[in-house]
Amino acid sequence: MLANCILYYNTAPNEPNFFGSTMTYSCSTPMPSGMGNITNAPLFKNTNGWTNLRLESNSPCINAGNNACMYASTDLAGNPRIAGGTVDLGTYEFQGAGLGGLQGWLWGYGLRVDGTADSVDSDGDGLSNLAEWRCGTVPTNAGSVLKLLAPQTEGKNVLVQWLSVSGINYFLERSTNLSGAPAFRPLATKYGGAGMTGFTDTNAPMGGQIFYRIGVEK
Ligand SMILES: [Ca+2]
Ligand SMILES: [Ca+2]
């Protein structure tokens, strides 16, 4: 049983990369049977002479392995076998140097950096990893998510609250008619702080329904 392996670029008249092997969390083509396998090219640093089989920063093999199938604490170069939270496929663990922006953020949470994780909701909290990146929330913790808490009425006022992150500017909008044009009007912009943010709507219309929504400023 192979796991966390790369079997690619071999040549043979038939089935060059593998024959009848069972593998999991590995990179090969055609698609092997087993869990977690991928067929995308592994994106080695150098396939011209095979002088450098380290992974490019956008390799699909980064953070694509299974930590339970790890046999040593270091890779072939002596670096930590797990960097960024999840083991990579192949002999060299990508160490993260030079990764920035969304890629670096995904890598730090052990998520795939090749784009395949962007639209995935890894923690099942309703927001994609890309959305969580924009919101500054944790993509591997369902308790860290941008959403409104149940509004509370205090006499004529309505207290609207949400879990918020330091350094993120939120806007809050209100609607009393979802088919209006525009449906929502701003209540607050560039608003928010660490932990929990509350806004007291002192001008909430009486009677009928009120809708609130929050978002992150661009
Ligand atoms: Ca999520
Ligand atoms: Ca989350």
Question: What's this model's pTM, rounded to 2 decimal places?
Answer: 0.86
- Give the model confidence (pLDDT) of 186-212 as tens digits: 999 999 999 999 999 999 988 889 999
Distance from residue 134's CA to the centre of ligand 2 (Å): 11
- Quote the mean pLDDT of the chain: 94
How far apart are the CA of 112 and the centre of ligand 1, in A?
A: 14
pLDDT at 22: 87
Which one of the ligands is nearest to 124 CA?
1
Identify the residue whose tokens are 């192979």. Answer: 2
What is the Å distance from ligand 2's center to 147 Cα? Answer: 11
* Ligand that comes closest to the CA of residue 119: 1
Sign of CA dihedral 169, 172, 178, 183: negative
- What's the CA-to-centroid distance between 49 and ligand 1, angstroms? 41
Question: What is the Å distance from ligand 2's center to 121 Cα?
Answer: 8
Q: Please say if the pLDDT value at position 85 is more than 90.
A: yes
DSSP state of 38: B
Question: What is the 126 CA–ligand 2 centroid distance (Å)?
Answer: 8
- Cα 72 from chain centroid? 27
Residue 90 pLDDT greater than 90, yes or no: yes
The pLDDT of residue 74: 96
Q: What separation in Å is there between the alpha carbon of 148 and the centre of ligand 2?
A: 14
Quick one: which ligand is closest to 145's CA? 2
pLDDT band at 78 (very low <50, low <70, confident <90, very high): very high
Centre of ligand 1 to C-alpha 125, Å, is 5
Tens of pLDDT, residues 126-170: 999 999 999 999 999 999 999 999 999 988 999 999 999 999 999
- Token pair listed for 42: 């592994």
**Is pLDDT above 90 for 1?**
no
Q: Which of 140, 117, 145 is nearest to 130 (CA)?
A: 117
CA of 71 to the centre of ligand 2 (A): 30
Q: How far is Cα 88 from Cα 56, in angstroms, rounded to an integer?
A: 12
Residue with tokens 């496929």: 89
